[in-house]
């Protein structure tokens, strides 16, 4: 495996480093060092700067407001942003800029691209993802939300759950069953649905960390235009699978950076609590460091396939299982280091509602204890650990398929 970067991407890396040097204060420690209000103000302004520079749409064709650069350029950008401790836009840009925009570029009609892509880029439209349902999480193809064609509209009835950021969104891309006579994977369509309309109810619910992030979304006669199907009627499963691969390369590059920064904070935490000479604590920290290094090389392997255009394979399940299970262990260790202090959250909780706290965050009990709670959800969202193990057992080890009910 060749993990070096070609000259043209290294020239782009120099461009990004120069931009960051000019745009950030000399004493910048990362967005995690800011209080909550200041962090949100920074993130909104930072998104505007990235958009103006063409970094939000780096790989989009120029005709849609992009710079037409390669996936590897995108990886370089994400690496440098992560190292600098700055975000890639706002939280909902994960769904609008990363997921939906790239899906429209591959599957969308020309009208869909010319209408939605500029609005996604400007932030005029914010998006969320309508996939999981109460009885269709691990087995997504069993979804029951249905859409029926009535004239020039689709009428949608059903429920979605674990919908991140729906209470802050204008639109939702929804998987709905449009053909009940077809096999379950073949009768699904990918619909673009406005949230601000009669027939749609969004109900946020509070996580055990105290944060509001997930929602239930109810559709009761909600409507969307007939032409807002992406990839063709009854072809939604194929579209959805391609969307799931969009983040694979970026996460492979940035996850090791974020988790390494977290281990470095963990070392500082041990020093702060006088546990740095405890032989058991030292061994557990060394274990965490070794796992992050393994994660880095696993990331290179995944990145190689992604850059070659390969569809998501078992290595994606390995990565998801690896980092999510690892993260429960490292946050367990942080709680053990803090002892009873960890039971009394003090300071700013994490700004992020998944994975690690932001780079530059203080070693406060609120930061670590909330991240500890968030880590548990990492073994559930985006495919539970049990589902990932089943995928690996069946596709890699060639074991018999688990009996389906």
The residues annotated with a catalytic role in the active site are 247
Distance CA 158, CA 322 (A): 34
What residues pair up with 171 in beta bridges, in sequence order? 127, 194
Picking from 316, 317, 322, 388, the residue whose alpha carbon sits closest to that of residue 355 is: 322
Residue pair 190/231 in contact by the 8 Å Cβ criterion: yes
Phi first, then psi, for residue 183 (nearest 5°) are: -55, 150
Query: In this structure, are residues 161 and 133 in contact, taking their beta carbons and an 8 Å threshold?
Result: yes
Q: Which two tokens stand for residue 103?
A: 């899906």
Instruction: Give the separation between CA 267 and CA 265, rounded to whole angstroms.
Output: 5
Helix (H, G, I), strand (E, B) or coil at 226: coil
Task: Give CA–CA dist 112/158, Å, rounded.
Answer: 25
| Encoded tokens for 313 | 């394979």
Identify which of 319, 328, 329, 333 has the alpha carbon closest to the alpha carbon of residue 281. Answer: 333
Q: How far apart are the first and last CA of the chain?
A: 42
Question: Hunting for tokens 């009394």 — which residue is that?
Answer: 344
Q: What are phi and psi of 107, to 5 degrees?
A: -115, -15
Q: Is 204 helix (H, G, I), strand (E, B) or coil?
A: strand
Buried b (16+ CB within 10 A) or exposed e, 163-178: bbbbbbbebbbbbbbb
Q: Parallel, antiparallel, or unpaired: how do β-strands 153-160 and 212-225 relate? A: antiparallel
Judged by DSSP in three states, 153 sits in strand
| Farthest-apart Cα atoms in the chain, separation | 72
Both tokens of 123, joined, read 């932030």
Using the CB atoms, write b or e for 231-254: b if 16+ within 10 Å.
Answer: bebbbbbbbbebbbbbbbbbbbbb
């Amino acid at each position: 495996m060749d993990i070096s970067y070609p000259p043209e991407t290294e020239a782009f890396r120099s461009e990004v480093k120069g931009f960051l040097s000019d745009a950030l204060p000399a004493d910048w420690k990362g967005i995690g060092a800011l209080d909550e209000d200041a962090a949100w103000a920074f993130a909104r302004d930072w998104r505007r700067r990235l958009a103006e520079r063409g970094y939000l749409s780096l790989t989009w064709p120029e005709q849609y407001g992009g710079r037409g650069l390669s996936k590897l350029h995108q990886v370089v950008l994400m690496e440098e942003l992560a190292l600098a401790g700055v975000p890639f836009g706002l939280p909902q840009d994960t769904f609008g800029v990363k997921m939906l925009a790239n899906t429209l570029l591959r599957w969308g009609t020309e009208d869909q691209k010319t209408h939605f892509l500029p609005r996604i880029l400007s932030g005029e439209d914010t998006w969320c993802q309508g996939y999981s349902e109460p009885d269709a999480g691990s087995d997504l193809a069993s979804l029951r939300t249905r859409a029926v064609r009535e004239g020039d509209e689709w009428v949608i009835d059903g429920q979605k759950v674990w919908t991140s950021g729906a209470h802050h969104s204008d639109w939702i891309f929804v998987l709905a069953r449009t053909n009940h006579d077809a096999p379950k994977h073949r009768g699904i369509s990918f619909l673009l649905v406005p949230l601000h309309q009669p027939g749609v109810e969004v109900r946020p619910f509070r996580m055990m960390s105290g944060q509001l992030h997930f929602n239930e979304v109810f559709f009761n006669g909600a409507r969307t235009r007939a032409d807002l199907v992406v990839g063709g009627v009854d072809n939604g499963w194929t579209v959805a699978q391609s969307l799931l691969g969009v983040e694979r390369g970026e996460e492979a590059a940035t996850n090791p950076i974020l988790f390494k920064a977290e281990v470095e904070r963990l070392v500082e935490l041990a020093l702060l609590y006088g546990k740095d000479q405890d032989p058991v604590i030292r061994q557990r920290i060394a274990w965490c460091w070794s796992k992050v290094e393994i994660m880095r090389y696993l990331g290179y392997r995944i990145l190689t396939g992604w850059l070659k255009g390969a569809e998501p394979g078992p290595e994606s399940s390995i990565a998801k299982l690896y980092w999510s299970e690892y993260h429960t262990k490292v946050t367990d260790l942080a709680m053990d280091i803090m002892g009873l202090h960890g039971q009394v959250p003090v300071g700013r909780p994490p700004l992020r509602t998944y994975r690690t706290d932001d780079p530059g965050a203080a070693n406060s009990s609120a930061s670590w204890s909330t991240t500890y709670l968030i880590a548990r959800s990492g073994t559930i969202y985006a495919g539970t650990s049990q589902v990932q193990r089943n995928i690996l057992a069946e596709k890699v080890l060639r074991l018999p398929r688990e009996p389906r009910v």
